[in-house]
Amino acid sequence: MRLYEHEAKELLDRVGISVPAGRLITDEGDVNGAVTDVFPVAVKSQVLTGGRMKAGGIAFAADQAELRAAVARLRGMRIGGFTVDKVLVEPKSAVVEEHYLGVTYDPTAKAPVALYSHAGGIDVEQGEAIHSATFPLVPAPAGFRFKELLSGAGVTGSRLTKLTDIMTRLAQAFVAYDCTLAEINPLAVTEAGAFVALDAHIDLDDDALYRQRGLVTGWGLADRDSDARQRSDFERQAEEIDAADHRGVAGRMVAFEGSLGLLIGGGGASLTAFDAVRRHGGTPANYCEIGGNPSVWKVKELTKLIMGREGVEKLAVIMNVVSNTRVDLVARGVVKGMLELGLDPAERVAIFRVPGAWEDDGFAILRKYGVPFVDRTVSIDEAARRALAGQGGAS
């Protein structure tokens, strides 16, 4: 779960890391009260993606007129697929040095890892070497570990003391707020000698959000997609369908601009089916995992949602051999969804491959409506190929 810059900076401020005194602007009326007595200012678009500077998403203003013009230009622009609807206005700092500090998780070492570079900024990846060191989650992050890291990177004197303190606080925030990434880039040293986090990037662990209820409620994180995408109405409707009936699971629905709708089994089977469709030249209209014995109603509503999208011509229902999902319920839901849309199941279901529990009853339903289906002797890959080739299966 990615945070906006202004949210990330709020977390840094909570742990005692200095950030600029900024003001968030969400509409034109906010400009009047936005840092009117301190110029020049930086005007920064707030989007859940990087590359804002290169995309023109950061501006500078020397007076109120330039501030108004910058806000008007930035709000509404598109950056990395996101529309800017709010900007952060901060006093522009007189910078003499830029550093990079970060903390993330190393899956190989199975431990958090602290990162440091002498050169921060928009091209930190192409700058000087990044120094790293792992540290344990328990006990709490200790300063001596980060002093060793920074000293090994060549930091000395008062810089070493100050950077050690900031890195320790960043690591403590990483642990306290269940982060998967917490970075400051750049951490600036100003002409006055102050260390200020000019930009920050923080991702929270989706699976630990239940421990961060204050953040979820305060920032509306429940309505924010975990991969930083802005969910479409189609994807939100799928979530509502899943939440409305506790029986079974309709995994996250992701919309694509294709013509073949998919109802596919969860886990590796869903990825196998999705990739098979693409490998055989198909264009998926969506990704959607189902399982755990969903009710007829849930399958029916998902079928209607997928087939109701403009440009979706057919539906492929593909799962692995199932023991915890009744084939007959899935078959009944798919057929019922088609009929309620006024569609002929025999014409609009490209393939049905869900072998397993109650499959004889399920196949009987499909046979009655002329829906092409295959059993477990036909692989997922072959089922996808047949769906796209128009060969179908038994009827």
The pLDDT score that the predictor gives to residue 289 is 86
Q: Note whether residue 329 is domain-resident.
A: yes
Calculate mean pLDDT across residues 45-72. 91
pLDDT digits (tens, 9 = 90+) for 82-91: 889 999 999 9
The pLDDT score that the predictor gives to residue 234 is 85
pLDDT digits (tens, 9 = 90+) for 117-160: 988 766 555 555 889 999 988 787 888 999 999 999 999 999 99
Same domain assignment for residues 129 and 186: yes
Q: Which residue range forms the structural domain that includes residue 82?
A: 21-91
Looking at 58-142, list the stretches that DSSP marks H as alpha helix, in order from N- to C-terminal side.
Answer: 64-74
The pLDDT score that the predictor gives to residue 229 is 54
pLDDT at residue 227 greater than cutoff 70: no
Same domain assignment for residues 304 and 383: yes
Indicate the range of 88-97, 127-136, 218-227, 251-260 predicted with least confidence.
218-227
The pLDDT score that the predictor gives to residue 253 is 85
CATH of the domain at 290: 3.40.50.261
Q: Which of 288, 259, 276 is nearest to 380 (CA)?
A: 276
Q: CB of 74 within 8 A of CB of 83?
A: no
What's the first-to-final CA gap in the chain, in angstroms? 45
pLDDT digits (tens, 9 = 90+) for 331-379: 999 999 999 999 999 999 999 999 999 999 999 999 999 999 999 999 9
Rounded to the nearest integer, the mean pLDDT of the chain is 90
Calculate mean pLDDT across residues 228-253. 81
Which of 91, 106, 136 terminates a domain? The answer is 91
Structural tokens at position 60: 């500078």
pLDDT digits (tens, 9 = 90+) for 183-218: 999 999 999 999 999 999 999 998 899 999 999 999
Q: Note whether residue 6 is domain-resident.
A: no
The pLDDT score that the predictor gives to residue 137 is 81
Distance CA 173, CA 121 (A): 22
Say which residue, 257 or 30, is predicted with more confidence.
257
CA 215 to chain centre: 17
- DSSP result, 268-294: HHHHHHHHHHHHTT--BSEE-EEES--
Q: Note whether residue 394 is domain-resident.
A: no
Same domain assignment for residues 128 and 161: yes
Same domain assignment for residues 237 and 378: yes
Give the predicted TM-score (pTM) of the model: 0.64
pLDDT at residue 281 greater than cutoff 60: yes
Q: Note whether residue 15 is domain-resident.
A: no
Same domain assignment for residues 380 and 304: yes
Same domain assignment for residues 169 and 289: no
DSSP designation for 1: -
The pLDDT score that the predictor gives to residue 113 is 95
pLDDT band of 116, cuts 50, 70, 90 = very high
Which of 172, 196, 223 terminates a domain? The answer is 223
DSSP designation for 85: -
The pLDDT score that the predictor gives to residue 80 is 75
Contacts of 43 (CB under 8 A, 6+ apart): 58, 59, 60, 61, 67, 70, 71, 74, 87, 88, 89
Same domain assignment for residues 308 and 208: no
Distance CA 302, CA 244 (A): 12
Calculate mean pLDDT across residues 68-77. 93
Q: Note whether residue 10 is domain-resident.
A: no
Q: CB of 16 within 8 A of CB of 171?
A: no
Rg, Å, the chain Cα set: 26
Same domain assignment for residues 306 and 217: no
Q: Note whether residue 228 is domain-resident.
A: no
The pLDDT score that the predictor gives to residue 36 is 57
Same domain assignment for residues 189 and 143: yes
Same domain assignment for residues 269 and 209: no
Count of the separate structural domains present in the chain: 3
Which of 177, 203, 223 terminates a domain? The answer is 223
Q: Note whether residue 311 is domain-resident.
A: yes
Indicate the range of 182-186, 232-236, 307-311, 328-332 predicted with least confidence.
232-236
Q: Note whether residue 13 is domain-resident.
A: no
Say which residue, 127 or 250, is predicted with more confidence.
250
Q: CB of 102 within 8 A of CB of 77?
A: no
CATH of the domain at 157: 3.30.470.20
Same domain assignment for residues 284 and 159: no
Same domain assignment for residues 156 and 253: no
CATH of the domain at 54: 3.30.1490.20
The pLDDT score that the predictor gives to residue 243 is 87
